[in-house]
Amino acid sequence: MPSTRLNKYIASSGLCSRRKADELIESGVVMVNGKKITELGFSVQQKDKVFVNGKLIHPVKHLYYRFYKPAGYITTSEDEKGRKTIYDILPESLHGLKPVGRLDRESTGLLILTNDGDLINELTHPSVRVPKLYRVVVNAKITQNDIDAMAKGIEFEDGKKAYAQVEVLEADNTSTTMEILLFQGLNRQIRRMFEFLGYNVLSLKRVQHANLTLFGLKRGEFKPIKPQQIKELRNFLSNLAKKND
């Protein structure tokens, strides 16, 4: 193969994004053929041996999957408390894939799984403002004042401000069903916003991430994302980035 930029080579191993690879190179933990490399523009050939933190890495084929996470599983590879993780459901062949963002234990819905570090970075970097759509049910009829407050932003105790766009689908005196659109990725953002406003979340499901949806998936099911869909996703992200420049 022709020469490849070192950061791209590292990212193609699934270890991290190119941006993170640059940080690893600058920190001095990357070696090529036994020589420490700190030059960001360095290129490697197919025959070269690349080590990160003493571990030999190789480019891998990028895989992309949609997964419908059920309730009761956490979005991590292992848990010190012994709780069930999504990898208890997924076959071992997919255990090398990482989720793009997280859903808390009782939340359900769409997770994108991949070993493409660059794509993970694009989908989660705050500057890109990738939309995520959720179907949420709370235990009371939501007021217009609270909808407006979520749009204007709610400041949490840690000083972070959370925003959400709310569209009410159905409401009565005992519950409200809504679609919630987020452009942030704060920890347990939706649940914390409703808790702040005095509501209990009865169910929370992610139905769309960027331009990918749950369509055609049953709970607990996973399916590969087709090459054409990945192309469309990259175009979607590229257009978002231009819009946010």
Residue carrying structure tokens 């991290």: 16
* Mean pLDDT to the nearest integer, 12-31: 90
In whole angstroms, give the CA distance from residue 49 to residue 54.
Answer: 11
Token pair of 225 as six digits: 């994302």
45-55 confidence digits (pLDDT tens): 989 999 999 99
Percent of the chain at pLDDT > 90 equals 77
* Mean pLDDT to the nearest integer, 220-243: 94
51-74 confidence digits (pLDDT tens): 999 999 988 889 999 999 999 999
Q: Which of 8-12, 100-104, 120-124, 220-224 has the highest mean pLDDT?
A: 220-224
117-156 confidence digits (pLDDT tens): 889 989 998 888 999 999 999 999 999 999 999 999 999 9
Average pLDDT of the chain? Answer: 93
Contact 212, 197 (CB under 8 A): no
Say what the pLDDT of residue 145 is. Answer: 97
Say what the pLDDT of residue 199 is. Answer: 97
* Res. 1: pLDDT tops 60: no
* Mean pLDDT to the nearest integer, 223-245: 91
In whole angstroms, give the CA distance from residue 119 to residue 127.
Answer: 14
Alpha helix segments (H runs only) across 45-188: 117-124, 144-152
* Res. 157: pLDDT tops 60: yes
* Res. 98: pLDDT tops 60: yes
Say what the pLDDT of residue 80 is. Answer: 75
Say what the pLDDT of residue 243 is. Answer: 81
Residue 4 φ/ψ, nearest 5 degrees: -130, 135
Percent of the chain at pLDDT > 70 equals 100
Token pair of 128 as six digits: 């890109």
Enumerate domains of the chain plus CATH numbers: 4-57 (3.10.290.10), 64-127+211-244 (3.30.70.580), 132-209 (3.30.70.1560)
The amino acid present at 116, given as its one-letter code, is: D
Say what the pLDDT of residue 112 is. Answer: 97
Distance of CA 220 to the CA centre of its chain: 18
**What is Dmax (Cα atoms) for the chain?**
69
In whole angstroms, give the CA distance from residue 177 to residue 168.
Answer: 6
194: three-class secondary structure by DSSP: helix
Structural Rg of the chain based on CA atoms: 20
104 as an active site residue: the answer is yes
211: three-class secondary structure by DSSP: coil
Q: Find the catalytic residue in 79, 104, 146, 245.
A: 104
